[in-house]
Structure 1
Amino acid sequence: MDRTYIEKHANQLIFFLAIVIATFVTAVAVWKVQTVAAAERQEHLSQEVLRFHVLANSDSKRDQELKVKVRDAVLDWMEEALPQGMDVEQTTRWVREHTDELEEISKQTLEENGADDTVSAAVSTCYFPDKTYGDVTFPAGNYEALRIEIGNAKGHNWWCVLYPNLCFLDTTNAVVPDEGKKKLKNVLTEEEYSQITAESEFKIKWFFWGDDK
């Protein structure tokens, strides 16, 4: 075989491999940049919201019904008692200062419904997976949350966001009012807000109430 032919094709192969390696290195670099940026967005978002998490004793129908009753009682009380106009730090501090009342309300609700499960309420840092409703996605990561645990806290949980005052509902509910979106947009940069909004088949309602999700 002609030596010139071999050298020509060897050079083509080397050139092709160089392109492949350069493309791979570039892709890895872009991925790293995007990963770091996503982590920074999640970290900032986590500092601007306070989530609410209720964990049922188990997945039995009875325990899930009790979870909803506790949720409703707690949100009823907080809607009346929680001062308006506070920022996320003030809201978190207020909730921490009233965990005893939240536990008592939860226990009374259980007792009124014939249950004697233990209840604990605390503000703690919890890991949440990605969650998308409507056109808003909360990326996976650690968030501060008011966490109410009923009994063994092994059942399906329910969550929403206490600050800004919004709770997610399922697909049967209305889309997000414009004024609701502004509440979240006001505490994020324009880029961050655009990054967490996306099209979805789900619906969202910005409200103080949530559904069993």
Structure 2
Amino acid sequence: MNIPGKYIRIILAVLAGLLLTGGVVRVRAVETKVQETQEHMADEVLRFHVLANSDTKEDQNLKMKVKDQVIGYLEETMGPETESLDETKEFVKAHIPEIEKEAKKIVEQEGYSYPVKVRLEKTDFPEKTYGDVTFPAGTYEALRIEIGNGDGKNWWCVLYPNLCFIDTVHAVVPEKGKEKLQNVLTDDEYDMVTATSRFRIRWFFFGDRKDE
């Protein structure tokens, strides 16, 4: 049976429309799941954010030294009373002057006069990968240290649960912190944000964007 050309074109147009509609629905479903996961994660974590004065080699090196100093201070002073997210936030709030002092000490030791601002605030983050954990873009509460103009590439980790590198060369995050994260997320959500995911967040829809 010969089908007129105009009908073939109509059939092909309908099929293309169905495929396109299915693709759009799938993309929207994934985007919805990513947003839901981000919002849930934002309620369960406290991030740590250090912004360099600029992208010069010297300012980037200074950023890393400030990061090391503050992480070392927090490791020494945050005891068992910071086993929950609320306790960690309360500790950080109560110790902002000390954290700022530690950061300024390194800036001055390195011969710079940059001002240092330390705040606990909600911040918009792009999608970021840390070790084998990917955090979707969105608003998170963070301990934020701004050096000078704060115009340089940033460094970040997660204070609660503790996902700050224990091996900076191989980008290994603490297993204990990952276990805590897994406990507060659903199985699907945890799969989405880890490198062994069946669902991944950076998948073919969004590309592979990685910040420092």
Match of 1:36 among 32, 41, 45: 32
Partner AA of 2:76 in structure 1:
E
Q: Does 1:23 align with 2:19?
A: yes
Q: Percent identity?
A: 47
Q: Which runs of 5 or more residues in structure 2 are unaligned?
A: 198-211
Contact kept in structure 1, 2:165 and 2:174, CA below 8 Å: no
* TM-score normalised to structure 1 length: 0.80
> For residues 141 and 170 of structure 1, do their structure 2 counterparts lie closer, same or farther at Cα, with a shift above 3 Å needed?
farther
Whole-Å separation in 2 of the counterparts to 1:31 and 1:197: 20
1:13 aligns with 2:9: yes
SS at match of 2:50: strand
| SS of residue paired to 2:164 | coil
Query: Structure 2 counterpart of 1:107, which letter?
Result: K
Inter-CA distance 75–174: structure 2 relative to 1 (3 Å threshold)? closer
* Distance across 1 between alignment mates of 2:13 and 2:126: 39
- Whether 2:73 is the aligned partner of 1:77: answer yes
Residues 84-103 of structure 1: pairs in structure 2 closer than 5 A:
84=80, 85-103=82-100
Larger CA Rg, structure 1 vs 2: 1
Amino acid at match of 1:188: L
The CA deviation at 1:91 is 1.3
- 1:198-213 matches, within 5 Å, as 198-199=195-196, 213=212
Deviation at 1:102, TM superposition (A): 1.2
Aligned residues: 197
Unmatched segments (≥5 aa) in structure 1: 201-212
Instruction: Give the superposed CA RMSD.
Output: 2.5
* CA distances 1:103-142 after superposition (whole Å, capped 9, x unpaired): 1222222223332221110011222222234432111222
Counterpart position of 2:140: 143
- Residue 66 of structure 1 aligns to which amino acid in structure 2? L
Q: Cα–Cα, structure 1 residues 139 and 165, in superposed 2: closer, same or farther, change >3 Å? A: same
In structure 2, relative to structure 1, the CA distance for the partners of 1:116 and 1:162 (3 Å cut) is same
